[in-house]
Amino acid sequence: ANGNNRVELFLTSDSASEGQGNEYLGGFDIDIQTSPEMEIVLPNGIDFGTYPKLSLTVTGSSGNTSYYSTPRNVLDPTQTPIVSFSRDTISTIHNDQTRIEGVEVKFYNTGNEYLDWFFDNEQAWAFTEPNNGILAAGDSVTIGITLDSRDFSETDLLSDVFELKSNYVNNPIVELPVEIDLSSISAEPMISFGMDTLNLTYQKEPGNKVYTESFYMHNLGVSGLAWRLSKNQPWMGNINPISGTLSENDSVEVSMDISINGGMQTGIYQGILVAFGSYGGGSETAFELFVTLELIDDIPPPLEPTIQIMGEDSLSISVDSIQVQFEVANFIVGPNPETSNGKVKVFLNDEELLQRTSTDAFYVHNLQEGLNSIILQLFKHDNMAVISASDTLWVDVSQLVSNNEESVIPNGFALSQNYPNPFNPSTLIRYDIPVSSKVEISVYDALGRRVSVLLDAYKSPGSYDLRFDASGLNSGIYFYRIEAGGFVKTRKMTLIK
Q: 195 and 292 share a domain?
A: yes
301, part of any domain: no
- Mean per-residue pLDDT, 81-94: 81
CATH number at residue 318: 2.60.40.10
Q: For 154-164, what is each residue's pLDDT tens digit? A: 666 788 888 88
Q: 209 and 282 share a domain?
A: yes
Radius of gyration of the chain (CA): 36
Q: 451 and 489 share a domain?
A: yes
Residue 366 Ramachandran class (φ > 0 left, ψ -120 to 50 alpha, else beta): left
186, part of any domain: no
Q: 274 and 251 share a domain?
A: yes
Q: 393 and 323 share a domain?
A: yes
Look at residue 53 and tell me whether its pLDDT is greater than 90.
no
Query: What integer pLDDT is reported at residue 280 of this predicted model?
Result: 67
88, part of any domain: yes
Distances (CA, A) of 430 to 45, 416, 439, 466, 486: 49, 5, 13, 6, 18
Question: Element (H or E) spanning 310, and its range?
Answer: none
Bridge partners, 214 (sequence order): 255
Average pLDDT, the chain: 83
Output the CA angle 24-27-33, nearest 5 degrees: 140
| Region of poorest pLDDT, from 21-25, 211-215, 286-290, 335-339 | 21-25
Q: 261 and 168 share a domain?
A: no
Looking at 112, 146, 181, the residue that finishes a domain is 181
- Mean per-residue pLDDT, 397-412: 62
Query: What integer pLDDT is reported at residue 96 of this predicted model?
Result: 63
Strands 285-296 and 197-203: parallel
Q: 175 and 226 share a domain?
A: no
Read off the amino acid at residue 424.
Answer: N
pTM exceeding the 0.75 threshold for the entire prediction: no
Query: What integer pLDDT is reported at residue 64 of this predicted model?
Result: 77
Q: 286 and 198 share a domain?
A: yes
Please give the backbone phi and psi of residue 403, each rounded to the nearest 5 degrees, phi first.
Answer: -60, -30
Q: 470 and 445 share a domain?
A: yes
Q: For 104-156, what is each residue's pLDDT tens digit? A: 888 888 777 777 888 887 788 888 888 888 888 878 888 888 988 777 766 66
Question: Element (H or E) spanning 246, and its range?
Answer: strand 243-246
Contact 94, 185 (CB under 8 A): yes
As a whole-number percent, the residues of the chain with pLDDT over 90 amount to: 29
Range of the domain at 371: 306-403
Q: 395 and 313 share a domain?
A: yes
- Mean per-residue pLDDT, 186-212: 85
290, part of any domain: yes
Count the domains in the chain. 5
Q: What is the DSSP string of 260-318?
A: E-TTPPSEEEEEEEEEEEEETT---EEEEEEEEEEEESSPPPPPPPEEEESS-SEEEES
Q: 280 and 347 share a domain?
A: no
CATH number at residue 452: 2.60.40.1930
Q: 164 and 202 share a domain?
A: no
Looking at 403, 426, 454, the residue that finishes a domain is 403
139, part of any domain: yes
Looking at 296, 315, 333, the residue that finishes a domain is 296
Q: For 61-81, what is each residue's pLDDT tens digit? A: 777 777 777 777 654 444 566
Query: What integer pLDDT is reported at residue 330 of this predicted model?
Result: 92
Contact 259, 235 (CB under 8 A): yes
Give residue 238's pLDDT band: very low, low, confident or very high (50, 70, 90): very high
78, part of any domain: no
348, part of any domain: yes
3-state secondary structure of 444: strand
422, part of any domain: yes
Output the CA angle 344-347-352, nearest 5 degrees: 90
Output the CA angle 113-117-118, nearest 5 degrees: 175
